[in-house]
């Protein structure tokens, strides 16, 4: 018997987990010495696992009350006295759902037609006369492309029309043609006035709904590869992958996602045609900074329990540093939007006032009151009190108690009455919940009038050095909590390299010849994510994004860029080893030769979309004569299927481009489930195969029950007739 086994047999009365520990001969990970015997020392019974489990209250169980919150904002006067009770009552209710219609103008118009003329109309018709649904277009959003609806889960369960609308939103969101975004969150990109040629920076971009909106505005003219681009940054490595998911749905080659602390964001360089390098100055910057988030109480009710007046005081410095860095990266004549989902003036007007006083005559607040007609809002606050965490309010810094002077700083106080006209803080926009049944939000638009002076740059350099030290300290605290250094280190993902094509790339000649790609297409904008081995996916970026990645890959952490343009498809019947990917089809479509383009009628396209078995693709002989003639001399392989709605006489008719496949005897299209449902919906096809409707199932079951009842009635009637006949 070994020594360990003798010990184990000797201590027969000891807890089983201790015996297991002795047998293992080493400490378990996260083992705490004498942890299981602490209750004996304290004279207590051994605690059960259930008692140790920390349970968080469900959202429905959270009491939406916070006396300090109400007292704080009532004292600050964030709204008129007669409106305060209404303001608080709205804050305690749930937030209504909203969505935006995205995509090309033709697709957006068709989806808007489906929403207005089919889905919404069915909801109105099926609703009770006393309970009409509250579904309406947001009045200030352009072209009725944003909608607000007040539907509960109970409504969706009890009404088939609501259920169909719910399914529509789910599938179209996955496809990227619907964006589920809070109403007030749509405002910053709109007031930023993004144009297709602008260089745009989103400093704190995750989770990415505003980034997606910026990309939509960049592609507003439907140029497949505009000259501008969007750089989306976030400090959190994991949240950067949420950005990747959002950006992928929009299939833009003009976006790059980077991972840095926005307060010390490194300078991005670009290489000119003569080989010289220069720093990038952005035309538009969105600075949606981290905040206390008390404007989101309607969708995050747990903030009711955690809110304190100290939240805004603690974040003021971080918000100011991020905004300062944004001003430094902004081009002269460019615009920057500073926004928060906070009601607190310490996080809003106070930060703007501090920046304006720091850069006098360099910046101005832009009046955007006429940009979004129909938007209800309050003017920015020009005076406010600064409070300690104990709700001790002060008008000036001189009044502040000595014990609070480390958290309350002089720059947090409002401008003097005689200086208010100089700063024009009333040009800021405050949206409160009771204005139009939304969340709370703050927006300010700054314009850079001239470059920073040498003195301001010196201050900027000095303060930036302090910011770097502070950022490193915060990064260490965030990334390496006690006893978890190794675990946190694993959370940081190592990215594959971005390897762009050279002028003599081997695989490019085969692709170019097979698809007859124009010489105007710059193959150097294609990239892969591996240096050696077989190339599986080929991605496409714009020339400007390629320039940025190549010039900065050493000092900037790029997470993702490019859209999938070609996918390896080793097929013995195909002359080219790569097929066209749907993701990048719109960007490369203008450069593809006519020989690989097939114009497909509506009925044939629906036939291909209805087929969900690649092993049994529809035979070419079963398709229309128009298709058979076009593919008669077309060699097997990838092709582009083109559908144009000739019945629509609008300025923006529906045009669909799909990656297809011409087999030896059959044809198919490469689409995932959500994209298939989307296209069938646009074409008016039958989506019941993919879209489960529980209400129809119920009606079918009831139909079967009715048939059974009829048969039983017939049998019983027949039995009665026979009995009567026998009696006679």
DSSP 301-368: TTHHHH--THHHHHHHHHHHHHHHHHHHHEEEEEEEEEEES---TTTTHHHHHHHHHHSTTTEEE---
Residue 280 CA to residue 272 CA, distance in Å, equals 11
- Residue 34, sorted as left (phi over 0), alpha (psi -120 to 50) or beta, turns out to be left
Residue 683 CA to residue 497 CA, distance in Å, equals 41
Of these residues, 79, 240, 341, 525, which one is catalytic?
Answer: 341
First to last CA, the chain: 97
Is 576 catalytic? The answer is no
Alpha helices, DSSP H only, in 592-652?
602-610, 625-631
Residue 62 CA to residue 302 CA, distance in Å, equals 7
700 token code pair? 């079918």
- In 53-190, beta strands by DSSP E: 97-101, 135-137, 146-149, 178-179
Residue 316 CA to residue 321 CA, distance in Å, equals 9
8 A C-beta contact, residue 70 and residue 88: yes
DSSP helix, strand, coil percent of the chain (3-state; round to 5): 45, 15, 40
Residue 132 CA to residue 125 CA, distance in Å, equals 9
Tell me the three-class secondary structure of 436-462, residue by residue: HCCCCEEEEEEEECCCCCHHHHHHHHH
The DSSP bridge pattern shows strands 499-500 and 178-179 to be: unpaired
Chain position carrying tokens 């184990």: 8
Could you give the angle at which helices 694-727 and 160-175 cross, rounded to 10 degrees?
140
Question: What's 395's DSSP letter?
Answer: S
CA angle, corner 286, sides to 283 and 289, nearest 5?
Answer: 150
41 token code pair? 């020392």
The full length of the chain comes to 728
CA angle, corner 162, sides to 156 and 168, nearest 5?
Answer: 110
Q: In what order do the strands lie in the sheet with 563-568?
A: 499-500, 526-528, 537-540, 563-568, 578-580
Question: What's 652's DSSP letter?
Answer: S
- Residues 6+ positions from 437 with CB-CB distance below 8 Å: 90, 96, 148, 150
- Which residues partner with 231 through β-bridges? 201, 256
Question: What's 643's DSSP letter?
Answer: E
Measuring CA to CA, how many Å separate 586 from each of 264, 391, 593, 653? 36, 57, 14, 16
Q: Any idea of the CA torsion for 484, 490, 491, 497, to the nearest 10 degrees?
A: 150
Write phi, then psi, for 137 (nearest 5 degrees). Answer: -70, 140
656 token code pair? 């669909």
The DSSP bridge pattern shows strands 429-431 and 393-394 to be: unpaired
Sign of torsion, CA 237 238 240 241? positive
8 A C-beta contact, residue 562 and residue 527: yes
Residue 185 CA to residue 196 CA, distance in Å, equals 21
266 token code pair? 């490194």
- Residues 6+ positions from 353 with CB-CB distance below 8 Å: 411, 414, 415, 423, 425
Active site residues: 341
């Amino acid at each position: 018997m070994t020594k360990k086994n003798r010990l184990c047999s000797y201590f027969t009365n000891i807890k089983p987990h201790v015996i297991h520990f002795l047998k293992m001969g080493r400490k378990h990970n996260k083992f705490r010495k004498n942890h299981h015997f602490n209750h004996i020392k304290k004279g207590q019974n051994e605690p059960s696992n259930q008692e140790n489990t920390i349970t968080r209250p469900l959202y429905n169980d959270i009491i939406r009350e916070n006396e300090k919150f109400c007292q704080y904002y009532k004292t600050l006067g964030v709204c008129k006295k007669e409106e305060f009770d209404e303001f608080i009552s709205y804050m305690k209710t749930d937030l209504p759902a909203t969505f935006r219609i995205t995509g090309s103008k033709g697709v957006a118009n068709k989806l808007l037609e489906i929403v207005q003329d089919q889905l919404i109309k069915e909801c109105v018709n099926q609703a009770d006369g006393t309970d009409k649904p509250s579904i309406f277009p947001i009045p200030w959003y352009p072209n009725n492309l944003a909608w607000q609806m007040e539907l509960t889960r109970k409504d969706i369960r009890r009404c088939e029309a609501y259920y169909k609308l719910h399914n529509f939103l789910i599938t179209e969101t996955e496809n990227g043609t619907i964006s589920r975004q809070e109403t007030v969150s749509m405002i910053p990109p709109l007031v930023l006035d993004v144009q297709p040629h602008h260089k745009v920076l989103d400093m704190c971009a995750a989770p990415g709904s505003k980034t997606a909106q910026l990309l939509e505005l960049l592609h507003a003219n439907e140029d497949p590869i505009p000259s501008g681009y969007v750089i989306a940054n976030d400090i959190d490595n994991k949240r950067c992958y949420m950005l990747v998911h959002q950006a992928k749905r929009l299939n833009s080659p003009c976006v790059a996602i980077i991972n840095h602390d926005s307060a010390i964001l490194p300078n991005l360089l670009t290489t000119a045609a003569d080989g010289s390098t220069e720093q990038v100055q952005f035309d538009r910057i969105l600075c949606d900074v981290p905040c206390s988030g008390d404007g989101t109480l309607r969708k995050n009710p747990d903030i009711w329990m955690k809110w304190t007046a100290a939240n805004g005081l603690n974040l003021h410095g971080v918000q100011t540093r991020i905004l300062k860095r944004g001003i430094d990266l902004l081009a002269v004549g460019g615009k920057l939007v500073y926004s928060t989902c906070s009601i607190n003036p310490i996080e809003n007007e106070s930060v703007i006032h501090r920046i304006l006083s720091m850069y006098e005559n360099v910046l101005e607040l832009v009046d955007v009151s006429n940009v979004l007609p129909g938007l209800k809002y309050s003017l920015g606050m020009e005076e406010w009190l600064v409070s300690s965490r104990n709700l001790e309010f002060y008008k000036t810094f001189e009044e502040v108690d000595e014990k609070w002077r480390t958290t309350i700083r002089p720059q947090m106080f409002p401008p003097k009455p005689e200086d208010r006209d100089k700063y024009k803080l009333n040009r800021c926009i405050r949206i409160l919940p009771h204005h139009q049944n939304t969340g709370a939000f703050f927006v300010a638009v700054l314009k850079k009038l001239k470059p920073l002076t040498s003195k301001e740059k010196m201050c900027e350099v000095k303060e930036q050095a302090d910011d770097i030290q502070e950022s490193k300290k915060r990064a260490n605290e965030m990334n390496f909590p006690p006893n978890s250094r190794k675990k946190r280190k694993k959370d940081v993902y190592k990215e594959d390299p971005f390897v762009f094509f050279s002028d003599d790339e081997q695989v490019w000649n085969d692709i170019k010849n097979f698809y007859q790609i124009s010489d105007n297409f710059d193959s150097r904008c294609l990239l892969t994510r591996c240096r050696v081995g077989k190339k599986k996916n080929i991605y496409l970026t714009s020339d400007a994004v390629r320039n940025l990645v190549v010039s900065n890959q050493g000092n900037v952490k790029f997470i993702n860029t490019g859209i999938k343009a070609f996918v390896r498809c080793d097929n013995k019947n195909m002359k080219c080893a790569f097929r066209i990917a749907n993701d990048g089809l719109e960007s490369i479509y203008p450069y593809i030769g006519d020989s690989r383009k097939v114009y497909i009628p509506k009925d044939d396209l629906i036939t291909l979309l209805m087929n969900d078995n690649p092993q049994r693709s529809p035979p070419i002989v079963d398709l229309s004569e128009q298709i058979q003639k076009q593919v008669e001399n077309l060699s097997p392989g990838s092709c582009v299927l083109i559908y144009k709605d000739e019945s629509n006489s609008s300025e923006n008719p529906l045009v669909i481009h799909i990656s297809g496949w011409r087999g030896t005897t059959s044809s198919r299209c490469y689409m995932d489930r959500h994209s298939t449902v989307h296209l069938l919906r646009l074409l008016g096809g039958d989506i019941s195969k993919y879209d489960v409707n529980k209400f129809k199932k119920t009606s079918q079951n009831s139909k079967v029950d009715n048939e059974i009842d009829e048969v039983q009635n017939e049998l019983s009637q027949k039995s009665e007739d026979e009995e009567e006949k026998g009696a006679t």
